[in-house]
């Protein structure tokens, strides 16, 4: 009897368990199935970014170079602005008439020489004598010209009005013909000469604006030939008077080869170019942002010229966080205050 009671009790427990399982399954089926098996709603990722704003501005394309300050070269209207002066003949320095830094006029005698055949004083006297004789018709014009040529070979003369920037002659020192002994430069007629790599020089032409620090001038000369030794093109830009630059100074110059005014520009860090060479920005609208294809142009000072559908000044774009941004995502703005200020102050630049 005891065994029979145990068997009957086990059967009753089993039946109760089956009844609970059946009831649970019925409730699950009537509720639409297992929650884990139900389709899950896609949740867009939230990405923390920083923003900037599109603006209208003027952008330039530059060719950069380095050059040295030199006296301006001769033109059809003006002689050279000076330079190194050498002894016209071998001799001994008899007198130095100037000091460095002195202002001189064109034709002033800077250095007097004595030669093996005549002193400076004797040669000068011979010129005066021949002039008087010619006036009395007691000599020939050729004799006067010979005396003048001998005298000219014993003097170093300022070729232009300017400043004596160097004197290396010393009284009593022997000099050879063509030995450089002085330098005179018109400091108001200087130029910057630069050698630009030929690969960068194809768009250069006289008249283009040149920026040298705070100085703005223009190209006065672009060589039509390429230097075979180093593959560069010679360029020259005249400096305005009182530029503050000095002969021999080494300077950087930026030649403007293109200008775009009132173009739409984006912060450079917000313009992404993929492996296929296609560029895009991440445009912000409310709490979401999405990629927008753009065509890029000039770049300058952290801004990039862009063109794209339905873009306008003041549009917010992702700057930090734009690289690797998905096609569309929710965003959290890390620099909301800065972005609002950028949008407020995005008036066109003049």
Question: Is 240 found in the same domain as 154?
Answer: no
Residue ending a domain, choose from 156, 185, 214: 185
Average pLDDT over residues 263-267: 95
Question: Is 302 found in the same domain as 289?
Answer: yes
Q: Is residue 91 part of a domain?
A: yes
Q: Is residue 32 part of a domain?
A: no
Q: Is residue 79 part of a domain?
A: no
For helices 141-152 and 120-135, angle between their N-to-C axes, nearest 10 degrees: 160
Average pLDDT over residues 183-207: 95
Residue ending a domain, choose from 185, 213, 244: 185
Q: What share of the chain is helix, strand, coil (3-state, %, to 5)?
A: 20, 40, 40
pLDDT tens digits, residue range 322-333?
A: 777 777 777 777
Question: Is 174 found in the same domain as 103?
Answer: yes
Question: Is 175 found in the same domain as 92?
Answer: yes
Question: Is 176 found in the same domain as 203?
Answer: no
Average pLDDT over residues 270-285: 89
Q: Is residue 35 part of a domain?
A: no
pLDDT-wise least confident of 148-162, 208-222, 282-296: 282-296
Question: Is 281 found in the same domain as 203?
Answer: no
Concatenating the DSSP letter of every residue in 229-292 gives TTTEEEEEEEPPTT-S--TT-EEEEEEEEEEEEEEEEEEGGG-EE-TTS-EEEEEEETTEEEEE
Question: Is 170 found in the same domain as 150?
Answer: yes
* Domain tally, the chain: 3
Q: Is residue 27 part of a domain?
A: no
Concatenating the DSSP letter of every residue in 132-150 gives HHHHTT-S-HHHHHHHHHH
Q: Which two tokens stand for residue 308?
A: 């794209």
Whole-angstrom Cα distance, residue 67 to residue 77? 25
Average pLDDT over residues 3-30: 55
Backbone angles phi, psi at 145, to 5 degrees: -65, -40
Question: Is 208 found in the same domain as 283?
Answer: no
Average pLDDT over residues 62-76: 93
Q: What is the CATH number of the domain that holds 230?
A: 2.40.30.170
Q: Beginning with the edge strand found earlier in the chain, give each strand of the sheet holding 82-86 in spatial order.
A: 82-86, 180-185, 162-167, 103-104
Q: Is residue 105 part of a domain?
A: yes
- Report which secondary-structure segment, H or E, holds 109: strand 109-114
State the burial class of residue 134 (Cβ atoms within 10 Å of its Cβ: 0-12, 13-18, 19+). Answer: middle
Residue with tokens 């609002």: 340
Average pLDDT over residues 175-186: 93
Average pLDDT over residues 337-341: 47
Average pLDDT over residues 234-262: 95
How many C-beta atoms surround the C-beta of residue 31 within 10 A?
10
pLDDT-wise least confident of 41-50, 80-89, 189-198: 41-50
Q: Which domain range does residue 240 map to?
A: 61-69+189-259
Question: Is 310 found in the same domain as 280?
Answer: yes
Residue ending a domain, choose from 215, 235, 259: 259
Residue 181's pLDDT band (boundaries 50, 70, 90)?
very high
Higher-confidence position of 322 and 20: 322
Question: Is 162 found in the same domain as 88?
Answer: yes
Q: What is the CATH number of the domain that holds 129?
A: 2.40.50.100
Q: What is the CATH number of the domain that holds 309?
A: 2.40.420.20
Of 174, 177, 190, 235, which is closest to residue 83 (Cα–Cα)? 190
pLDDT tens digits, residue range 119-137?
A: 999 999 999 999 999 888 8
Concatenating the DSSP letter of every residue in 151-183 gives HHTTEEE-SSSEEEEEE---TT-EE-TT-EEEE
Q: Is residue 281 part of a domain?
A: yes
Question: Is 266 found in the same domain as 298?
Answer: yes
Question: Is 270 found in the same domain as 340?
Answer: yes
Q: What percent of the chain has pLDDT over 70?
A: 83
Q: Is residue 17 part of a domain?
A: no
pLDDT at 324: 76
Higher-confidence position of 279 and 286: 279
Output Rg (C-alpha) for the chain, integer angstroms. Answer: 43
């Amino acid at each position: 009897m005891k065994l029979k009671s145990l068997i009957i009790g086990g059967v009753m427990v089993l039946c109760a368990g089956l009844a609970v399982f059946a009831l649970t399954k019925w409730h699950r089926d009537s509720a639409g199935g297992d929650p884990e098996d139900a389709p899950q709603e896609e949740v867009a990722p939230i990405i923390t970014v920083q923003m900037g704003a599109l603006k209208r501005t003027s952008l330039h394309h530059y060719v950069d170079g380095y050059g040295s300050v030199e006296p301006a070269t001769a033109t059809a209207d003006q002689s050279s602005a000076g330079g190194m002066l050498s002894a016209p003949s071998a001799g001994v320095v008899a007198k130095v008439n100037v000091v460095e830094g002195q202002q001189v006029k064109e034709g002033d005698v800077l250095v007097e020489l004595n030669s093996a055949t005549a002193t400076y004083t004797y040669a000068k006297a011979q010129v005066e004598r021949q002039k008087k004789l010619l006036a009395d018709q007691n000599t020939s014009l050729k004799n006067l010209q010979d005396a003048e040529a001998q005298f000219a070979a014993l003097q170093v003369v300022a070729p232009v009005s300017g400043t004596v920037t160097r004197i290396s002659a010393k009284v009593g020192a022997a000099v050879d013909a063509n030995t450089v002994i002085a330098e005179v430069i018109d400091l108001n007629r200087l130029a910057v000469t630069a050698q630009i790599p030929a690969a960068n020089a194809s768009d250069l032409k006289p008249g283009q604006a040149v920026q040298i620090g705070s100085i703005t001038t223009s190209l006065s000369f672009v060589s039509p030939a390429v230097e075979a030794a180093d593959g560069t093109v010679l360029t020259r830009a005249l400096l305005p008077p009182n530029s503050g630059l000095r002969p021999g100074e080494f300077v950087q110059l930026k030649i403007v080869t293109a200008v775009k005014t009132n173009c739409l520009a984006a912060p450079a860090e917000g313009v992404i170019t993929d492996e296929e060479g296609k560029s895009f920005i991440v445009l912000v609208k409310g709490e979401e942002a999405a990629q927008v294809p753009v065509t890029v142009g000039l770049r300058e000072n952290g801004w990039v010229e862009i063109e794209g559908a339905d873009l306008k000044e003041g549009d917010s774009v992702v700057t930090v966080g734009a690289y690797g941004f998905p096609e569309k995502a929710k965003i959290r703005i890390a620099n909301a205050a800065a972005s609002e200020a950028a949008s407020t102050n995005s008036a066109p630049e003049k």
